[in-house]
Structure 1
C-alpha cells in the first residue's frame, strides 16, 4: 500500500469519526465541537491539493512506506 493511499484512508476515517462524534443525531454523539476537527482535516486536504505537501505523507515515507509510482 502506498503512502498516499494511507493518507486518504486516515483522512476519510478521521472525517467520518469526527462527524459521528459531532452530529447530534449520531448514536455516538459526544460534542458538536468535534465538527471543528472535521473542518481541520478538510482544510488540510485542501491545502495539500494546492501545495502537494502533506505532513502525514512525509512521516510515512520516513517510516519506509513506499511512495506512489508513476507507471
Structure 2
C-alpha cells in the first residue's frame, strides 16, 4: 500500500508541475493534478473490461513474464 500511495503522490506532483509550467496557474495545476488521475482511473477500468473481452475472444495466453501469445 505504501508503494501505491507514493506513486499517487508522485503522479499528482508531476501533473501539477507540468501544468503549472505550461499555464503559470496554481489553480489550473491543482485541478489537473486532481482531475487527470480520476479520469485515468475510470479509463483504466473500461480498458481492462475491453482487454479481458479481447483476451477471451482471441484465446490469448500470457507467460510468466506477461508476454502474450496466441
Greater fraction strand:
2
Same fold flag (TM > 0.5): no
Q: Please give the range of the TM-score, normalised by the shorter of the 2 chains.
A: 0.3 to 0.5
How does the TM-score come out when normalised to structure 2? 0.36
If asked which structure has higher relative contact order (CA below 8 Å, sep 6+), I would say 1
TM-score of the two chains, using structure 1 as the length reference: 0.35
